[in-house]
Amino acid sequence: MKTMSKKQRKMLLRILVAGGIFLPLLVLEITGVSESWPWYIALPVHVVPYLIVGYDVLRKAVRNICHGQVFDENFLMCLATVGAIAVQEYPEAVEVMLLFQIGELLQGVAVGKSRRSVSDLMDIRPDYANVERDGELQRIEPGDVRVGEIILVKPGEKIPLDGVVVEGNSNLDTATLTGESLPRPVTAGDELISGCVNMNGALRARVTKPYGESTVARILDLVENASSAKAKSEGFITRFARYYTPAVVVLAVLLAVVPPLFLGDWSTWVRLALTCLVVSCPCALVISVPLTFFAGIGGAARKGILVKGANWLEELAKVQTVVFDKTGTLTSGRFTVTVVHPDHMSEQDLLSLAATAECYSDHPISLSLKQAYKKEIDRTRVSSVEELAGRGVCAVIDGKRVLVGNERLMEEQSVTRTPCCHGQHRGTLVHVAVEGVYAGHVEICDELKPDAADTIRLLRPRKTVLLTGDHATVGEEVAARLGVDEVHCDLLPADKVARVEELLRRKPASSSLAFVGDGINDAPVLSRADVGIAMGALGSDAAIEAADVVLMDDRPSKVATAIRASRRTLRIVRENVVFSLAIKIGVLAAEVVMTAVGRDSNMTLAAFADVGVLVLAVLNATRALRVKPAEKIRERKGKTA
């Protein structure tokens, strides 16, 4: 009762009242007492429980007919039960309506439970924000907090808005966003992501985004509106029901009219036609298929995987080619920096030039250079900066033209490099030239993420491809260590799009291609792939906007989890469709055979079959809420083997 809404509790009361009135009538029928009742007595006593439990079905059917929506489950139930009353099968009319309403109630409770499960899983909406105003702490709605204001987040409270910590140390529980149980430490200067829970210390933070643009608002919008993008399977079921229901009515009319013209016994065939209407109710299909997709999206959200719609869940299930960006996707994006320089420039001076030239860039390599410099950058030294896509930057520092970038940039600018630049290098080389004279280079080594190799293994037998702007020696070494099937190096952003276009032409027609990137510099490729997956996108606006699927943490292995969850959801959809149609066809065939051999069809049994199919299909749909990480599935299979 606690899990029911007010409307559902009212429906349960109606079912109990109608059942209480009908049960003595059913006993009288079984004992044969009511067989001698004239119709003017039998009809009123059965119509009372019938109307108590089914008046809303009659009302909906009439209302829909008035609006031109004739053929639906309400119409079928009304036609079947009113027909049963017309042929004086009063108890069966009440039984069918009772069972139909019981099925609707059970379906409503199951759907409500699944929706509450998703709401509980995504229980990240903040209730209030503690804002420092006029020297005092005020509790107000998050939407009323202005950018730049200072908020206080106490231990145990949700982070209400995105911001930057100005004072305090604590650990954040990010499980509701990422599905990960490990706390995330934060201190002064660190970013705060709305929707997380502050675990221990109090934090003062400066708000950087209004609530409408915050991470929590974007995530809630994605999850709540994901059902608006329907999958092809949902569209098929909608179209199927549109033609299926009228076809069932026509079949029932033919069963009621044609056989009696040749065989006689009108009441028997009319009874079979009414039974056909009851069995053929499409509720199980119309309800369970969208519910399965909704549960699949909710289950993925629990693991920190945001799918923007059922259509993308369906595309994920067809993925046979997975293309990865390298930096920040399969590698950590946290670099170790080694400075190599000719004799006329010190290591610190070279690093200073490189970091200063890159001072306006947010690329992971640029961030690593600035971090390695370990000093505050004096931006007044920089008079101009020009970004050269896929090559580096050209900046004027202290009045001198400084080039910082890759080998291609040095070749374009005719800069002669020193012999130490040639040969094997473990990492990426960032070259520095001043006024056209080579000054030295910085070797940057990126580390593979702990689960990168497992990701490629878990995706087998799907084809995996690595795209990177790094030199071939670096890209091929990473590909070899991971076991990637195909690698393409030295790519500009436009080259990555071209490679994805080529892979799209080569893939099997019935399959999909997914591109996995960090969501910062990969927006064109994310948009071009069949499925764009942005990972490590906690708080990244660009990723949430460009991608079709967003992984809220930094683990590439969740790509395999997302694909597995989508395939499981599609499998449950197919199970429900096949199961529902098979049971309905089987019961209908049995009723026809019973009628042909001279036995009366059983409308009550047909109603039981319809309600049973509906309940089982809905319960099966809720299985999609449970999503297990792909690596755990493989471990379990390995132990079994």
Indicate which residues carry an active-site annotation. 325
List, in sequence order, every beta strand (DSSP E) within 208-255: none
Q: Which residues pair with 204 in a beta bridge?
A: 152, 167
Pairing of strands 437-448, 428-434: antiparallel
Residue 486: what residue type? E
Q: In this structure, are residues 260 and 56 in contact, taking their beta carbons and an 8 Å threshold?
A: no
Helices assigned H by DSSP within 210-231: 215-225
Residue 56: what residue type? D
Name residues whose C-beta falls within 8 Å of residue 371's C-beta, 6 or more positions apart in sequence: none
- Please name the residue that has the structure tokens 């429906």: 11
Q: Calculate helix-pair angle for 347-357, 364-373, nearest 10 degrees.
A: 140
- What the block records as the tokens of 240 is 């199927």
Closest CA to 191 of 164, 217, 210: 164
Residue 104 CB neighbours (<10 A) = 22
- At residue 559, φ and ψ (nearest 5 deg) are -65, -45
Tell me the helices (H) and strands (E) count for the chain, helix number first: 21, 22
CA dihedral over 81, 82, 88, 91, signed as positive or negative: positive
Residue 186 Cα distances to 167, 190, 374, 638, angstroms: 10, 6, 20, 38
User: What DSSP designation does 36 have?
Assistant: G
Strand (E) or helix (H) holding 403: strand 400-405
